[in-house]
Amino acid sequence: MALRQTSLLRLRSPLAVCVRSMGKGEPGDGAGRGGGSGGTIRDAGGAFGKREAAQEEQYFRKLEQEQLKKLKKGLQKEIEFHKEQVEAHKDAIKRHEERLNELK
> What number is the average pLDDT over the span 61-70?
98
Considering the entire predicted model, what is its pTM?
0.53
* Residue 77 vs residue 14, higher pLDDT: 77
Which pLDDT tens digit goes with each residue over 3-58? 444 444 444 444 555 555 555 666 666 655 555 566 676 667 678 878 888 899 99
Residue 24: the pLDDT is: 60
What is the phi-psi region of residue 37: left when phi exceeds 0, alpha when psi lies from -120 to 50, beta otherwise?
A: left
Q: What is the pLDDT of residue 53?
A: 85
Helix, strand, coil % over all residues of the chain, rounded to 5: 70, 0, 30
Identity of the amino acid at 30: G
